[in-house]
Amino acid sequence: MSGAFDWRLLGFLLFVMSVQVSGFIYLHRRLRAAAATLAPRAAPALKWVVGALFLLQLLSFSLTRSGFSGPVAGALFWSAYVLFGVVALVFVGTLLVDLASGLVTLAERAGLGGAPDPGRRALLRSWAQLGVVGVSGALTAGGYRAATRVPAVTEVEVPIAGLPPALAGFRIAQISDVHIGPTIKGPWLQKVVDVINDLDVDLVAVTGDLVDGDADALADDVAPLGQLRARHGAFFCTGNHEYYSGVDAWVDAVAGLGLRPLLNAHQLLDHDGARVLVAGVTDRSAHRVRPDHASDPAAAIAGRAADGDLRLLLAHQPRSAYPAAALEFFHLQLSGHTHGGQFAPFSFFIGLFQPFAVGLHRLGSMWIYTNRGTGYWGPPNRLGSPSEITLLRLIPGD
């Protein structure tokens, strides 16, 4: 079934583009003002540098899903996304410099801090702007190193009321927001799979946003998932990015690798005589692209043969917890989507926009665990919000 055109997605992309254009114009004006003070001869050339950076990003974003590949494509994508991260930090730093400068101006007008000295203030602001560029570059280097390494294992104990003895110590490995695509490739994913296999878990949960690109183009890069080992296998639910990348082809591809997609569906497992119900819902926004994929936790457990001694829900977005918890059925929801803000300073504010932004939370009788993301999206930067492979261990609790 073909989905309706997603006008909201188009509107979002146009909004992002307008913000990006405005941001580059703002940065150009501020950086050129700083260059005019510190290096007047370099100031005229700055517009070409900023313009080239903007065109590089625009070109790379437009080619992301075109199938463009090879060494040239790799160099283009890596350059664009790394610079995108630098520009984001420079933008935030520049705003802070302007804010500080404005506060100083207000203080001077109020008669605090001595007589105004516009020339000195302009010089200090120019040096501060230069410092912002340098610090942003250093922070990007640190964030790049954190983003491209193999994620560490984050161990979490989840107390489940009434957990049968057979399920005490039941172990789940979760990965989320891997974002295989322009800069994250198969060799890195192979290392992630090797880490999971060494954990010797009972179940693997892949909670959406696995990919960014066409299934045919990325087939070799996702192939390592076929090597995942767990007592009860690996399960998959869709994230929003699967709907940008051809969801039907990806569901088929994932199933072909041995993972079990759960699209508003469930499976009942036997674990040493105890019953484990694993359900999965489609992404919370899926209906905008595919009306027949509207997320529905009630449908995911319809016609169940038994309730299950452990009732687990895979849902990409943490907000899916609200309709899920209302059913008073699930013990635990596993989610991702937020990336924990991905990198500072954005990681400091993610909790303002996302409920259950990172880690373990409770809603009614249901636990929610939000993985910070195993990969990254866009800039290869994980400053202050490290990627993770989650190892959840279930224990008896109240």
| Domain final position from 99, 114, 146 | 146
Considering the domain architecture, whether residues 138 and 266 belong to the same structural domain is answered as: no
Considering the domain architecture, whether residues 232 and 163 belong to the same structural domain is answered as: yes
Q: What was the pLDDT predicted at 5?
A: 47
Q: What was the pLDDT predicted at 16?
A: 61
Is residue 63 domain-resident? yes
Is residue 346 domain-resident? yes
User: Rounded to an integer, what distance in angstroms lies between the CA atom of residue 309 and that of residue 106?
Assistant: 64
Q: What was the pLDDT predicted at 4?
A: 46
**pLDDT tier, 115 (very low <50, low <70, confident <90, very high otherwise):** low
Q: What was the pLDDT predicted at 347?
A: 87
Mean pLDDT score of the chain: 87
Q: Which of 49-53, 69-73, 199-203 has the highest mean pLDDT?
A: 199-203
For residue 3, pLDDT over 60 is answered with: no
Considering the domain architecture, whether residues 170 and 210 belong to the same structural domain is answered as: yes
Work out the end-to-end distance of the chain between its first and last CA atoms, rounded to an integer number of angstroms: 45
**pLDDT tier, 1 (very low <50, low <70, confident <90, very high otherwise):** very low
Do 348 and 340 contact (CB within 8 A), yes or no?
A: no
Is residue 1 domain-resident? no
In 149-264, alpha helices (H): 186-199, 219-222, 240-244, 247-256
Q: What was the pLDDT predicted at 42?
A: 66
At 309-332, the pLDDT tens digits run: 999 999 999 999 999 999 999 999
238 φψ region: left (φ > 0), alpha (ψ -120 to 50), beta (else): beta
Q: What domain range is 311 assigned to?
A: 152-397
Considering the domain architecture, whether residues 287 and 174 belong to the same structural domain is answered as: yes
Its pTM stands at 0.86
Q: What was the pLDDT predicted at 113?
A: 60
Q: What was the pLDDT predicted at 105?
A: 74
How many folded domains does the chain comprise?
Answer: 2
What is the pLDDT averaged over residues 218-237? Answer: 97
Considering the domain architecture, whether residues 87 and 175 belong to the same structural domain is answered as: no
| Domain final position from 126, 146, 166 | 146
**pLDDT tier, 160 (very low <50, low <70, confident <90, very high otherwise):** very high
Is residue 52 domain-resident? yes
What is the pLDDT averaged over residues 195-211? Answer: 97
Is residue 299 domain-resident? yes
Map residue 154 onto helix, strand or coil: strand
| Domain final position from 112, 146, 180 | 146
At 330-348, the pLDDT tens digits run: 999 999 999 999 998 888 8
345 preceded by cis ω (within 30°)? yes
Is residue 159 domain-resident? yes
Considering the domain architecture, whether residues 134 and 158 belong to the same structural domain is answered as: no
Considering the domain architecture, whether residues 79 and 200 belong to the same structural domain is answered as: no
Considering the domain architecture, whether residues 169 and 129 belong to the same structural domain is answered as: no
Is residue 31 domain-resident? yes
The beta-strand segments (E) located in 151-226 are: 152-161, 171-175, 203-207
Considering the domain architecture, whether residues 130 and 156 belong to the same structural domain is answered as: no
Q: What was the pLDDT predicted at 39?
A: 67
Considering the domain architecture, whether residues 167 and 289 belong to the same structural domain is answered as: yes
Number of Cα atoms under 13 Å in the Cβ half of residue 350: 21
Is residue 2 domain-resident? no
The CATH number of whichever domain residue 256 belongs to comes to 3.60.21.10
Considering the domain architecture, whether residues 139 and 211 belong to the same structural domain is answered as: no
For residue 48, pLDDT over 80 is answered with: no
User: Quick one: what percent of the chain has pLDDT higher than 90?
Assistant: 57
Considering the domain architecture, whether residues 45 and 85 belong to the same structural domain is answered as: yes
